[in-house]
Structure formats: C-alpha cells, structure tokens
Chain A
C-alpha cells in the first residue's frame, strides 16, 4: 500500500460555524451572511458529538478546521474551540480567519488549546493596493498586524492566497512577504469563478504554477523555512516524477494530490448541511437529520466523484488521475457538470490516451 499515512489515520472536517462576516471579499462564494439558519450552541454540541462518535467508531482522529464567515464573529467561538479541542477523537485543530479580530487577548485565550496547530490567514495581496481592493479598505494592515502578533506569540501562521486576475501579478511579492514575515506555509489556490469573470486559460495557469514551483525549489535550495504547498490537482503536471513511490520528495518540492472530497473529509455549513467541498455547492446531507455514516457511505454524489473512471474529457483518460483527478468544483463552475475535465489543465494527452 502506498497511501500517505496521514490519509488513512485522519478525517478532515472543515466546519463553517457562522456565515456572519465583517468583509465582503470580491471572490466570496457565500450568498447569505445572516445567522438565520445557524445551529445554536446546544445544537452544535449535538452535531459535534454525532461526528466524533462516528470518528471513534471508524478508529479515526478528526483534523478540524474551524472557519466561517469570520469565525471570531461567532458569539461562542471559544466554547466551540473548547469542545473540539477537548475531544479525544480530535487530533488537530486549525482556525481559518481573515485575522482582523485577532488581538493579544484573543491569542492569550487561544493558547489554552493544545491541539491548535496553526492559524490560517487569508491574504490576497502583498500590499493594500491589491489586498484591500479584493477584501476591503484597511483589511491588509489589520491582517498583517494579526500575523505579526501571532508570530511574536509563537503561534504558527499559514497564508491562503486566492489566485484571481487582479492579483496574479502579485504572486512573487506575496511569496516575498511570507518569507519576510516568517510565515510557515502558503497555499496559492485558484479562484472558483462566479460566471464569466475570473476565468483563466490553461496556459495562464500553467505559467503561474510553473513560476510557483520553480520559486519553491529555489527557496528550498536556499533553506527558506516557508513551505509553498502544492498538494492539489493539476500540480503533478509540472513534474510527475516527484510523485512516484520511493522518491522521498521533501514537502517543499512535492507536487500534486487528489482532492480530499469524498476520500478523507467533509465540509459542514453553519446549518449542518454537509458538502463534499466548500467550493462545490451541492449538499450531500444534513447532520441534524442524517448520520455521518449515512452521508459518507450512501451519498450518490460522493460515490460519483470517488470513482475516477467516471471522470470525463481529459481527466477520464489521464495517467495522473490517481494523483490529480482535477478539481471537481472548477469543472462544476465552468460546465455545470462536476465530472467534466478540469478546465485549467494544460496537459496534452498522449496519442494513445483516447476517451
């Protein structure tokens, strides 16, 4: 068996505990920013217990990311974190935030959570001119202040950068900034377009991914601590040899990975609706009504995306489908069919790869 050991041991849960948010980022996939359908804290505890009981039965440990909306706007955020952190069925805990509400007092309270691995802050630009245009006036310096405060307090920080037309030329600078600020890892992820806006060509994505990969190699050679993470569909196209068994490629240089949707994780919305991926707006159940077991084992949607032979177009016949499989949410956003090929894939098929 050549499955990465993390994959079989952990189960990833990205839990959006609130829709409430202080920002209105241009690329946000949320339509509702109200708290109308959110679980109460008592309901949250019941649903959490349902999930942890199932994880226990499966002999798995939960790897939880708590997010929103903006999670620090949840009135009982610390109680929520405490429930997750205290569970014997949880191994790790992260918080995904825009960083704006992080203060010394918040950090002092976060220090009680021994399973907190890192705080991920969304930075969509290396300067206010770029970041604020996407996320709102004044948000850049507030996020940067939060990053510095967290690092001063020895809390690990990672950055998420959503790649879009407006910030594509800022990729080199965001990497520079992350290195300068001692951030431990950055993920640069493609925007899921809403309509015709922000659609990239495969050539543009290839050019950007190649730059990031080359830059990542260069920084690794220099001994830079920043990890530029590339465990996502399409990255394997840069250099498939690095994904082969026995290469022992260091994390800085590793390329490609299947999307976790349907394989080792779920996304839970504030009303307990479950999605395979937050970016794929197709509900597969609701944890107030359905058990996690029923959703995981019986969802038709999950079985559709698990079987890579169901994939269409280039993805159907691609020899890298077991380490890539394309992004199903990207296919859905571009075509309305989640089994279609990843529209950004630049790989040319070999002549013997036919549909």
Chain B
C-alpha cells in the first residue's frame, strides 16, 4: 500500500471543500456530448 496525502485547505475553493457533489457537477458542466451522467455505484460492485 502507498501512503496517502492531503491537499492543504488554502489550495482548494470553498465549493471544493463543502460540496460533496462538486466533482460530478463539474463533469456535468462540460458535458458537451450530451451524455446522461451516471456512475457504476448504480449497479455495484467491485468485489
């Protein structure tokens, strides 16, 4: 296993530090190909 690291809060925006859906909303914003955005957790599982 590798070691983990955190980004200092001062390097992140308020939205990045407070909205758990920030990343997927950013993906939706640049969705020029008009795909319905979905993720694999809708079916499961990586077991």
Contacts and interface: CB of A to CB of B under 8 A. Distances in A.
A317 interface: no
Contact of B47 (A10, A120, A281, A329): A120
Contacts of A60: 20
Given A260-B41, A283-B1, A298-B7, A322 B35 contact: yes
B30 A263 contact: no
Interface size class of A (residues with CB under 8 A): 35 or more
Interface string A286-314: 00000000101111110100111000000
A284 B35 CA distance: 30
A352 to B, nearest CB: 14
Interface string B5-36: 11111001000111011011111101101111
B30 A94 contact: no
Contacts of B33: 244, 319-320, 322-323
B4 A263 contact: no
A7 B37 contact: yes
Interface in A151-198: 158, 160, 185, 187, 189
Contacts of A283: 1-4
B4 A299 contact: yes
A44 B36 CA distance: 37
Interface residues of B, number: 38
The A interface, classified by DSSP as helix, strand, loop or mixed, is: mixed
A189 B44 CA distance: 10
A7 B42 CA distance: 8
B38 A94 contact: no
A231 B24 contact: no
A350 interface: no
Interface of A: 1-4, 6-8, 10-12, 14, 58, 60, 63, 65, 67, 94, 96, 120, 122, 158, 160, 185, 187, 189, 229-233, 236, 240, 243-245, 247, 254, 256-260, 262-265, 267, 273, 277-279, 281-285, 294, 296-301, 303, 306-308, 319-320, 322-323, 329
Given A94-B45, A240-B35, A297-B16, 20 more contacts: A8-B21, A11-B20, A120-B44, A160-B45, A187-B43, A229-B44, A231-B38, A231-B40, A233-B40, A257-B39, A258-B39, A262-B23, A263-B27, A264-B24, A307-B23, A307-B26, A308-B27, A322-B37, A323-B37, A329-B46
